[in-house]
A and B are shown apart, each in its own frame.
Chain A
């Protein structure tokens, strides 16, 4: 424990250097903007900014990109409260009571409690990260290819199960992502696959193009398809003097914040869109433990404080599997994995010892970033609210131009732009047809790792599949996977049986 604190102190030294502090500031401000603007989520935001980090060292780059991720969690609440439109999916729940508070003239209080709750939860999440990641990384040294394969399969199944919507559809999307990930050179033999003699395809599909396409252009197209009158909305702008919580508000919310932080931290450790699930779980818990559950939905401050704290804590703890095991459990951390690989850093058990300045520097920067967000966000809420006044008919072309330019700068290639447009159209159709894009993106990023782990396991075992069930850790993951597959099936069967009995 003392050793971790010493490393953390070193991390603060790294994060507080002028360059890293500057990129942390840029990251959290851009992240807040990404969260504020409907039509641009953290996934597209991080993917878009990756090319801008090419000239930076790995530590500064990840500090900035991580800042976008957790900064977006802060920003997302602004639109939910002021506009009743979530800036990103983790802020959907905040709309319920946040907008009601704004309607009653308490928008400033809602925003303030969001910022304070996010800060407290973010801080607690960082402490969890400090003390949990190193032992987990040590434990992960026992992982071989079979364990990694089973863990990734478990991740895909859980993500597909909890993403929302049809489980089968999400699983199908994960397999589609894995197939797209096989385009290009075989990671073991070096043979070309599905390249059709095209040198661009031989290099594989750029994951940034898929991320920006599905989550940037796709989201823009969804907005374009909306009727013209819904493109403009009325924004409630709070006055500056309203932007601080009273002692009573803090007293009312503190336990909701702490519960939210606990729930968020736990949820962030398991595969899935952690911040989204954490907000729903926190809201349910708050309503259940409240002495006045009837107030929820009518502007209860706990209904804002709990979920907003939960999504920030989940966001911080989602870094634990990424840094310690090298396996991201959610699309934003999958993009960060891609960014780490681009900068020549392989996350996993050895990362903490091989790149201590990066690991501890990024953790310390998160604390600094949370503090910057607390200081900056409240005074700048009126500014962000005014940004929301920019009509969407101007905002959407701007986002599109930025996506197109950002995409070109990754490899200076128009092929990547074509891929982005293609995946943009696909993202739009997926949204329309109620398919989830998140499993596809995660599978695309993890696909090559999964294939290598699968083939290495079978090579080691001389083609014997028992390798996946004779190793205890692998068996544990596969058993958990099986449970996740069987439970929904059994529930559906029981439901059918009940309805059949009722009609009979």
Chain B
């Protein structure tokens, strides 16, 4: 847990450092007439200071920092179903314009249902079809929101 908190603090510190470096390349100006880089530069430095203080606190603390009532996690990173879930969403987004909303929403539902354990394909396909048709009708015909039609034109 301590190692995980140190890594977390380190990532935030790095984010602050990158912000500060990139901001320093923008016009800084003076406090009287601040340039566009001044505010993010101050924020980057502040974030580095806060994350630095946090890492010092974690390093010197005897008990694990999450014992103070926060919801401590049992697992650390992204698990396999979560990665699969995110990948399916990303692929759906990638092909949204090419395949169109109707097809993508069907494939997205089928993929996500499969990841979550709906293994019977007939039920999976039926559910995905109904959901895709219902959401297409709701957004396109009821709410009149234009959604990508794809090469099939639907």
Write the residues of chain A forming the contact surface with B, with a CB cutoff of 8 angstroms: 51-52, 164-166, 168-169, 171-172, 175-176, 178-179, 182, 186, 188-189, 191, 193-194, 217, 220-221, 224-225, 228, 231, 392-394, 396-398, 400-402, 404-405, 408-409, 412, 414, 417-418, 421, 424-425, 428-429, 431-435, 451, 454-455, 458-459, 462-463, 465
B87 to chain A, nearest CB (A): 10
Q: Which of A172, A401, A418 sits near B109, CB closer than 8 Å?
A: A401
Contact B31 A434 (CB under 8 A): no
Known contacts A172-B12, A429-B78: A459-B90 contact under CB 8 Å:
no
Contact B39 A454 (CB under 8 A): yes
Q: How far is the CA of A398 from the CA of B92 in the complex (A)?
A: 14
Contact B31 A409 (CB under 8 A): no
Q: How far is the CA of A398 from the CA of B117 in the complex (A)?
A: 15
Contact A176 B75 (CB under 8 A): no
Whether, in the assembled complex, B154 has its beta carbon less than 8 Å from a beta carbon of chain A, the answer is: no
Write the residues of chain B forming the contact surface with A, with a CB cutoff of 8 angstroms: 4-5, 8, 12, 15-16, 19, 22-23, 26-27, 30-40, 43-44, 46-47, 50-51, 53-54, 57, 65-66, 68-73, 75-79, 81-82, 85-86, 89-90, 92-93, 96-97, 101, 105, 108-109, 112-113, 115-118, 127, 131, 135, 139, 143, 145-147
Question: A228 — which chain B residues lie within 8 A by C-beta?
Answer: 117
Contact A431 B71 (CB under 8 A): yes
B50 to chain A, nearest CB (A): 5
Question: A224 — which chain B residues lie within 8 A by C-beta?
Answer: 81-82, 85, 115-116
Question: A462 — which chain B residues lie within 8 A by C-beta?
Answer: 32
A-B CB contact pairs (8 Å), 12 listed? A52-B143, A164-B70, A166-B70, A172-B50, A224-B85, A394-B113, A398-B131, A402-B135, A429-B77, A434-B66, A455-B38, A462-B32
- A-B CB pair tally, cutoff 8 Å: 173
Closest to A183 in B: B40
Contact A179 B68 (CB under 8 A): no
Question: B118 — which chain A residues lie within 8 A by C-beta?
Answer: 393-394
A393 to chain B, nearest CB (A): 4
Question: A404 — which chain B residues lie within 8 A by C-beta?
Answer: 89, 92-93, 108
Contact A432 B135 (CB under 8 A): no
Question: A432 — which chain B residues lie within 8 A by C-beta?
Answer: 73, 75-77
Q: How far is the CA of A165 from the CA of B81 in the complex (A)?
A: 27
B128 to chain A, nearest CB (A): 8
Question: B73 — which chain A residues lie within 8 A by C-beta?
Answer: 431-434
Closest to A499 in B: B62
Q: How far is the CA of A165 from the CA of B145 in the complex (A)?
A: 41
A365 to chain B, nearest CB (A): 22
Closest to B90 in A: A421
Q: How far is the CA of A90 from the CA of B3 in the complex (A)?
A: 32
Contact A179 B50 (CB under 8 A): no
Contact A193 B93 (CB under 8 A): no
Question: B90 — which chain A residues lie within 8 A by C-beta?
Answer: 418, 421
Closest to B57 in A: A168
Please name the 5 residue pairs, one residue from A and one from B, whose CB atoms are nearest each other, closest first: A463-B32, A397-B112, A165-B70, A463-B31, A393-B116
Q: How far is the CA of A169 from the CA of B53 in the complex (A)?
A: 10
Question: B30 — which chain A residues lie within 8 A by C-beta?
Answer: 463
Question: A405 — which chain B residues lie within 8 A by C-beta?
Answer: 101, 105, 135, 139, 147
B60 to chain A, nearest CB (A): 10
Q: Given contacts A397-B108, A398-B109, A429-B78, could you give 4 more A-B pairs where the C-beta distance is less than 8 Å?
A: A191-B36, A425-B78, A429-B77, A434-B71
Closest to B34 in A: A455
Question: B50 — which chain A residues lie within 8 A by C-beta?
Answer: 168, 171-172, 175
Contact B54 A412 (CB under 8 A): no
Greatest chain A CB density within 10 A among B27, B109, B116 is at B116
Known contacts A191-B26, A193-B36, A409-B139: A179-B82 contact under CB 8 Å:
no
Q: How far is the CA of A397 from the CA of B32 in the complex (A)?
A: 52
Q: How far is the CA of A284 from the CA of B53 in the complex (A)?
A: 33
Question: B27 — which chain A residues lie within 8 A by C-beta?
Answer: 189, 191
A272 to chain B, nearest CB (A): 16
Contact B85 A179 (CB under 8 A): no
Q: How far is the CA of A421 from the CA of B108 in the complex (A)?
A: 14
Q: How far is the CA of A394 from the CA of B4 in the complex (A)?
A: 33
A217 to chain B, nearest CB (A): 8
Known contacts A432-B73, A434-B71: A176-B89 contact under CB 8 Å:
no
Q: How far is the CA of A115 from the CA of B26 in the complex (A)?
A: 55
Q: How far is the CA of A193 from the CA of B37 in the complex (A)?
A: 8
Contact B39 A451 (CB under 8 A): yes
Question: B101 — which chain A residues lie within 8 A by C-beta?
Answer: 405
Question: B69 — which chain A residues lie within 8 A by C-beta?
Answer: 164-165
Q: How far is the CA of A303 from the CA of B35 in the complex (A)?
A: 54
Q: How far is the CA of A421 from the CA of B69 in the complex (A)?
A: 29
Question: B82 — which chain A residues lie within 8 A by C-beta?
Answer: 221, 224-225, 428
Contact B147 A434 (CB under 8 A): no
